[in-house]
Amino acid sequence: MAMMRLRREDPRVVGSFRLHRRLGAGGMGVVYLGSDRRGQRVALKVIRPDLAEDQEFRSRFAREVSAARRIRGGCTARLVAADLEADRPWFATQYVPGPSLHDKVAEEGPLPAAEVASIGAALSEGLVAVHEAGVVHRDLKPSNILLSPKGPRIIDFGIAWATGASTLTHVGTAVGSPGFLAPEQVRGAAVTPATDVFSLGATLAYAATADSPFGHGSSEVMLYRVVHEEPHLFDVHDALAPLVRACLAKDPEERPSTLQLSMRLKEIAAREAQGLQERRPPAQRSEQELDRPTGRLEGQYTEQSTRRTAGSSSRPSRSPGRRSTSSRPAPRTGGSQSRAPRSGSRSGQLPPGQGTNGRQASRSGVRTTSAGKAGKRRPANPRLLRQRLVVFVVVTLLVALGIAAAQGCQGPARGLGGTQSDTYDGAPARPVEASAP
């Protein structure tokens, strides 16, 4: 709600309330933003001086304020205080932060069907409490509905008894705004709760189309259309049009009650909200969520991921010059049995993406990794590499010693089977000389 600075002619204190800003002005008086000694903020309306001199207006004002005190409900602005005997009568209601329905539609345009139905359902419940207190609003319109963070609130209950104002029309004893008045108000007939139902229907049509259902024009033209012409509801949402048309019936007996209206609007709001959710595209999953398996392996995946993250955080960082072991070829999974790496799982656990027989886990309904993740390899275990290197060196040494031993045994074998003329240890044998007789 727009606030303006106080003018020179504006009072600074009214009753026990200190005034701070102007909230607006109308045919009945000026509305101020005030606060009491405890700091509670109120919307305080001071009646115009010319109306204050009208005794008939004072008596009507007193009856309406007394009725407003009896209203209980969350969809109304609670009456805080009033002084009917002051030179300029005034009353203070609970301050409701938020724009009016008129200002919201003027700035944002027509509202969605779900939002219109939700606002209408809350207003219908508020009117139930108002009518149970024996009060008829008589001037329900978009500017008298404030959209607070806690829901819509109805203001200016049945106290719009002004005469001669440009924004109000006085016909007999009926006062209201052209385009939102019920036909019985225009004719001067008695007002009933059905009168507020007509005004609520016109208000919902305005919220859905950003225009009055009876168009624009002078007060006389608007009043004639309300009584004799049908409302224009071509741009009203299909889900709301039949119910709004029923509210704008010329005969008050043909209009739905506020309780029926509340129930129907709640159903429409729920259905339209569900339709909006079904029409929304599904939320895109992140790449990490796409890689996460589902089903029976989901718990194993979570436990392994947690263990792998803890191990990587506690492992010392590698030197820049050391060759990465991630270039090792990935183990094949198409054989009869696949050997799970020791670094990623314990006994009885399966690595993500594999089944108990080495086949791909996608065959059992588990989500496989994306193509971008398929090329990644797990880092090899340094301890396993060292063990393999030691085994390789030991086997190589054993083979070399075996070859050397075999070659050393071949020389003596040839000497044992030869004559005295054969060589022995590489030296020629000496001839045996016969000794003298």
- Establish if 232 belongs to a structural domain: yes
pLDDT tens digits, one per residue of 63-82: 778 777 888 777 888 888 99
Amino acid at 282: P
Do 357 and 335 form a contact (C-beta atoms < 8 A)? no
Torsion over CA of 270, 128, 167 and 106, rounded to 10 degrees? -20
Half-sphere exposure of 254 (CA within 13 A, CB side): 12
Q: What is the mean pLDDT of residues 96-112?
A: 94
CA dihedral sign, ordered 308, 309, 312, 315: negative
| pLDDT score of 324 more than 60 | no
pLDDT tens digits, one per residue of 143-193: 999 999 989 999 876 554 333 333 333 433 345 678 899 999 999 888 899
* pLDDT at residue 138, rounded to an integer: 87
* pLDDT at residue 244, rounded to an integer: 97
Which two three-digit tokens encode residue 173? 């004893």
- Establish if 265 belongs to a structural domain: yes
Binding-site residue numbers are 45
| pLDDT score of 308 more than 70 | no
| pLDDT score of 41 more than 90 | yes
- Establish if 425 belongs to a structural domain: no
CB-count exposure of residue 112 (10 Å: 0-12, 13-18, 19+)? middle
- Establish if 258 belongs to a structural domain: yes
- Establish if 418 belongs to a structural domain: no
pLDDT, mean over the chain: 74
Which two three-digit tokens encode residue 436? 């003298």
Do 3 and 23 form a contact (C-beta atoms < 8 A)? yes
- Establish if 21 belongs to a structural domain: yes
pTM here is 0.59
Query: Which residues carry out catalysis?
Result: 139
Structural domain boundaries, residue 223: 13-278
- Establish if 132 belongs to a structural domain: yes
**Count of domains forming the chain:** 1
Q: What is the mean pLDDT of residues 1-10?
A: 83
- Establish if 424 belongs to a structural domain: no
Binding-site residue numbers for ATP are 45
Q: What is the CATH number of the domain that holds 124?
A: 1.10.510.10
Query: What is the Cα–Cα distance from 233 to 205, expressed in whole angstroms?
Result: 7
* pLDDT at residue 195, rounded to an integer: 94
Instruction: Kindly report which listed range (12-26, 191-205, 373-387, 411-425) carries the lowest average pLDDT score.
Output: 411-425
Question: Which residues touch 337 (CB under 8 Å, ≥6 apart)?
Answer: 357, 358
